[in-house]
């Protein structure tokens, strides 16, 4: 490649361009009149190879990193977490997955809320499991973040899934939900191939697998021994911290067809975004999706960054 680039700048290279460029658009009818000279044709072939290799190199360098982005509680620094607004911003950014937390009201309705109680992110109070849907429906889940989002509601899960079907995939962090009913809703709304699950307790993962052996599941691991342990749950995705990504860890995941999802949620995690891009990660779970998108593809005209 370096030889050809050097050649392009030589006297011969300049002469080659002079010879080839006028011939670039000759037709089949005048092909027979194309002047043949062995020395000139050799030069022409060399410059054609140069152009082809340069085009190939440019295409490779411009190809964006194929890293799937998982937005933790939605675009949570651009809109209130776990709301329709934060999920919509993910769609606008081109994020692959939105992470949501699933909880259940006193009367059995699935809602999207991270905390056990309503106090932090709404103008209500008390445990969501002890509140009825009639109470939850009237709460403001946006004003705590910004007046711009005043009147934003705690989303019911089913309308949320209907709204975003075909627009984005879902990471279900199941806090409190009847798994049989939740699975029925996921299949009803067509998300069974566009989602994955996670549970803070392994017993719940075991329960999921008893109900559905194939729906995508994420497990966490810090080393190869941990990877061996979670294989019993038939996971498709492994979440890990960057410092735990050893060559042995990555190789084990590759051999067992496990996708690698980097965890980048701690304070200052943005400092590690480039290292994640440069690593073997297939996915990344983060808060600032717009920043990662800008790093992956600097040419992106990002309205939110």
Q: Are residues 22 and 97 in the same domain?
A: no
How confident is the model over 70-102, as pLDDT tens digits? 999 999 999 999 999 999 999 999 999 999 999
Query: Which of 39, 62, 85 is the endpoint of a domain?
Result: 62
Under a CB-based contact definition with an 8 Å cutoff, are residues 207 and 231 in contact?
Answer: no
Instruction: Answer with the residue of higher pLDDT: 15 or 76.
Output: 76
Instruction: State the residue range of the domain holding 224.
Output: 68-102+167-296
Other Cβ atoms less than 10 A from the Cβ of 182: the count is 19
Q: Are residues 95 and 215 in the same domain?
A: yes
Assigned domain for 128 exists: no
Query: Which of 62, 91, 112 is the endpoint of a domain?
Result: 62
Assigned domain for 124 exists: no
Query: How many domains is the chain built from?
Result: 2
User: What CATH number does residue 282 fall under?
Assistant: 3.20.20.190
How confident is the model over 238-289, as pLDDT tens digits? 999 999 999 999 999 999 999 999 999 988 999 999 999 999 999 999 999 9
Closest by CA position to 233, among listed 216, 251, 212, 209:
209
Assigned domain for 23 exists: yes
Instruction: Answer with the residue of higher pLDDT: 139 or 50.
Output: 139
Under a CB-based contact definition with an 8 Å cutoff, are residues 183 and 109 in contact?
Answer: no
Phi, psi (deg, nearest 5) at residue 2: -65, -40
Assigned domain for 301 exists: no
């Amino acid at each position: 490649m370096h030889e050809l680039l050097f050649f392009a700048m030589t006297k011969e290279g300049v002469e080659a361009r002079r010879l080839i460029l006028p011939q670039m658009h000759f037709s089949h009818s005048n092909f027979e009149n194309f002047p043949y000279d062995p020395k000139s044709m050799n030069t022409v072939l060399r410059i054609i190879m140069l152009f082809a290799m340069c085009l190939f190199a440019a295409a490779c360098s411009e190809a964006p990193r194929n890293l799937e982005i998982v937005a933790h509680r939605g675009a949570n620094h651009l809109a209130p977490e776990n709301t329709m607004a934060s999920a919509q911003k993910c769609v606008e950014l081109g994020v692959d997955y939105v992470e949501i937390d699933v909880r259940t009201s006193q009367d059995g309705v699935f809602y999207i809320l991270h905390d056990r109680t309503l106090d932090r992110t709404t103008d209500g109070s008390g445990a969501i499991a002890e509140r009825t849907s009639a109470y939850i429906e009237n709460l403001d889940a946006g004003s705590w973040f910004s007046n711009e989002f005043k009147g934003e509601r705690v989303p019911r899960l089913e309308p949320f899934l209907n709204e975003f079907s075909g627009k984005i995939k879902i990471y279900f962090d199941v806090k409190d939900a009847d798994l049989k009913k939740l699975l029925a809703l996921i299949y009803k709304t067509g998300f069974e191939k566009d989602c994955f699950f996670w549970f803070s307790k392994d017993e719940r993962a075991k329960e999921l697998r008893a109900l559905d052996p194939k729906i995508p599941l994420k497990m966490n691991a810090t080393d190869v021994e941990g990877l061996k342990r979670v294989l019993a749950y038939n996971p498709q995705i492994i979440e890990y911290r960057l410092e735990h990504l050893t060559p042995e860890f990555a190789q084990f995941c590759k051999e067992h067809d496990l996708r690698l999802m980097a965890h980048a949620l701690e304070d200052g995690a943005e400092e590690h975004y480039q290292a994640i891009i440069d690593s073997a990660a297939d996915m990344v779970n983060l808060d600032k999706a717009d920043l990662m998108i800008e790093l992956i593809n600097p040419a992106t005209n990002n309205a939110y960054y």
